[in-house]
Amino acid sequence: MNGILLVNKEKGMTSHDVINKLRKILNTKKIGHCGTLDPMAEGLLVCLVGYATKINPYLNSATKVYDATFRLGVATTTQDLEGEVIETKEYQDDLTFDKLHQTIFSFIGPQKQTPSIYSAIKVNGKKLYEYARNNEEVIIPSRDILVEKIELRGIKDNDINIIVQCSSGTYIRTLCFDIAKKLNYPGVLTKLIRLNVDNFSLEDAYTLEEISKGNYHLLDISKGLNNFDVVELDNLLLKDIKNGKPLLINQERPFIIRINNENIALYDKSNDGYAKILRGLW
């Protein structure tokens, strides 16, 4: 059993919880995921089964799309509803649609983001939330992110709903907190749904219940490696490939080698004209 499995994660579960359940359902230990979702988040979790776990470093996951709702007037330690309330401000219903629209759109483009200390980013080998739990001081490094698009979906009372297309590594709860701050309010993320990871869509994902009933389909690894070509080779080269030998193949892009319709290895060209193995898929 090998391939990419798109899972519709429920709210309240960690990404690791999903993997543990999948290991029992599919009766295999070789399962991983890419792009962790917080417990309060829902939506698309890209899971890798069997030898597909080996392609994680090469997966296209640079762009993600989220449906996010945040509330003006409240701030927490974690920038979502999981944390303790640290600031409140009565909402005055003083925002015009134009002001809200302009403020949200001002966050489109490349920028620096400083995430909450309650995040899994590592500083000096330790996760930030570990510093928070131990009441230790730490300098939180800012990171480069790209917000490609923001769509204002609506506002109801002091809850604002947006669709965000952004680079991998963007903290949506921090983005919502920063938008609220620019609107002169504390802010907190109340709901988050991941809709897309590059060419993977939530519409094609399965719930754990569906998977437990056998209602699922594994995608070929090529679906997650669209910057790789596919090269079909003869079975006579299988031994050389498994021994990691370079191959004299003229390919400009990295490629997946298939033999008898089975994925065998990932290769890429080198400066000497030969293609060299990146990862064996066995």
Tell me which residue has tokens 């690791």: 16
Which of 38, 67, 80, 198 is flagged as catalytic? 38
Contact 6, 206 (CB under 8 A): yes
Return the bridge partners of 267, or none: 255, 277
Contact 31, 208 (CB under 8 A): no
Q: Which residues contact 272 (CB under 8 A, 6 or more apart)?
A: 246
- Rounded CA-CA distance 280/175 in Å is 39
Contact 58, 48 (CB under 8 A): no
* Helices vs. strands in the chain: H and E counts, helices first: 6, 17
Provide the 10 A C-beta neighbour count for residue 78. Answer: 21
Is the C-alpha dihedral spanning 56, 12, 85, 155 positive or negative? positive
**Beta strands 255-259 and 159-167, pairing class:** unpaired
Q: Is residue 268 annotated as part of the catalytic site, yes or no? A: no
Token duo for residue 245: 């030998």
Q: Which residue numbers are catalytic?
A: 38
